[in-house]
Amino acid sequence: MKLTNSLIYIFLFIIAVVTLFPFIWMFFTSFKVEADILAYPPSLIPRTFSLRSYLEIWNSIPFFRLFVNTVIFSVGVTFISVILDSMAAYAFARIDFPFKNILFIIVLVTLMIPFQVILIPLFKLLYELNWLNTYLGLIVPRASSAFGIFLLRQFFVKIPYALEDAARIDGCSEFTIFRKIIMPLSKPALATIAIFHFMYNWNDFLWPMVITNSMSMRTLPVGLALFRGEHVIEYGMLTAGAVLALLPIILVYLYAQKYFVQGIALTGLKG
């Protein structure tokens, strides 16, 4: 028993090192000078610490702009989508209305359509709307998610009706009940969905790459990847950029780890 536990520890430890190594390498490399990066044999720890990469990155690409774009895109989608998802989920969970089932099936069908398949016509549609290369074009098609509606509906149906009935007798409108009773009671579910949308869009690559075509509208994942395509050997700057791009999402993760894990566990248990 003791032996098995030690073996398991060793295994877990090795995997942990393998998992962390690229992050650690990235972190240290971002502080190296160029000669240090190219030195052979390579060493993990910088011989001299330098902040040059961090200073240069702001001049070489509009890094601040990329950062702001990523925030606007991911926070924008998250904010709108959480509201629209929960509104739709509320109607599906707690109100009886004609064609409810058919409409819910439409929502489920959209869940089955892979985004890559509709990318070309979607691009054409945004082109005709003149929405390419705009925040509107980036955000609006993402502003509601069938996945969010589905998960929130599951949560909303379980909320007891007693509170709602009491509010109704007091003459509260449907919208007040939604905003003042259902939403506050659903904070954990809403946080889970919000984190999910935030992570998905902060990290997204193909969508912002296709919809934007100027560096000033790109997001961090796209901007850095395209920068690498053009400047293959700017290792220092790219690792510095990667550190800065990863920091916000890692901080959010460490702060709200519970909700990340919950979100994924939820998707797993629904099956």
Partner 1 sequence: MQLLKKIKNSYKLRRKLMAYLFILPSLTIFILFILYPIVYSFIMSFYDWNILSTEASYIGLDNYNNMLNDSRFWNALKNTFYFSFGFVPIGIIISLILALFVNRKIKGKNIFRTIYFLPVIAPMSIIAIIWTFLLNPDIGMISYYFSLIGLENTAWLRDPDLAMPAVIMVSIWKEMGFNMVVFLAGLQSIDESYYEAARIDGATKLEQFFYVTLPLLKSTTAFVVIMTVIKSLQVFDQVYVMTGGGPLFSTETLVQYIYKLGFVNFNMGYGSTVAYALFILLLFVTIIQLRYFKGEE
Give residues 80-119 in contact with partner 1 (rule: CB under 8 A). Answer: 84-85, 87-88, 90-92, 95-98, 100, 103, 106-107, 109-110, 112-114, 116-119
Region of 49-57, 159-167, 184-192, 224-232 interacting with partner 1 (CB under 8 A):
224-232
**52 or 228: whose CB is closer to partner 1?**
228
Region of 48-56, 61-69, 173-181, 186-194 interacting with partner 1 (CB under 8 A):
173-181
* Total number of residues that touch partner 1 (CB under 8 A): 95
Pattern 123-142, partner 1, x by CB under 8 A = xxx-x------------xx-
What six digits make up the tokens of 37? 């990066």
Angle 161-163-166 from CA coordinates, rounded to 5°: 105
CB of 100 to partner 1, least distance (A): 8
Q: Which residues contact 53 (CB under 8 A, 6 or more apart)?
A: 30, 31, 32, 236, 237, 239, 240
- Answer positive or negative: Cα dihedral of 86, 92, 96, 100: positive
According to the binding rule CB under 8 A, does residue 215 interact with partner 1? no
**6 or 216: whose CB is closer to partner 1?**
6
C-alpha neighbours within 13 Å on the C-beta side of residue 86: 25
Q: Which residues contact 198 (CB under 8 A, 6 or more apart)?
A: 74, 75, 78, 252
CB of 51 to partner 1, least distance (A): 20
According to the binding rule CB under 8 A, does residue 235 interact with partner 1? yes
According to the binding rule CB under 8 A, does residue 261 interact with partner 1? yes
Contact 226, 98 (CB under 8 A): no
Identify residues 32-71 at the interface with partner 1 (CB under 8 A).
37-38, 41-42, 44
Please select the residue that binds partner 1; options are 51, 165, 166, 205, rule is CB under 8 A: 205
According to the binding rule CB under 8 A, does residue 268 interact with partner 1? yes
According to the binding rule CB under 8 A, does residue 155 interact with partner 1? no
**Dihedral, 175, 179, 180, 181 alpha carbons, nearest 10:** 90
According to the binding rule CB under 8 A, does residue 26 interact with partner 1? yes
Tell me the C-alpha distance between 259 and 241, whole Å.
27
**68 or 122: whose CB is closer to partner 1?**
122
Least Cα distance to 136 among 215, 214, 224, 211 occurs for 211
Least Cα distance to 157 among 105, 95, 110, 100 occurs for 95
Chain-centroid distance of CA 89 in Å reads 21
Please select the residue that binds partner 1; options are 77, 82, 146, 182, rule is CB under 8 A: 146
Region of 14-22, 54-62, 154-162, 184-192 interacting with partner 1 (CB under 8 A):
14-22
C-alpha neighbours within 13 Å on the C-beta side of residue 51: 2
According to the binding rule CB under 8 A, does residue 267 interact with partner 1? yes
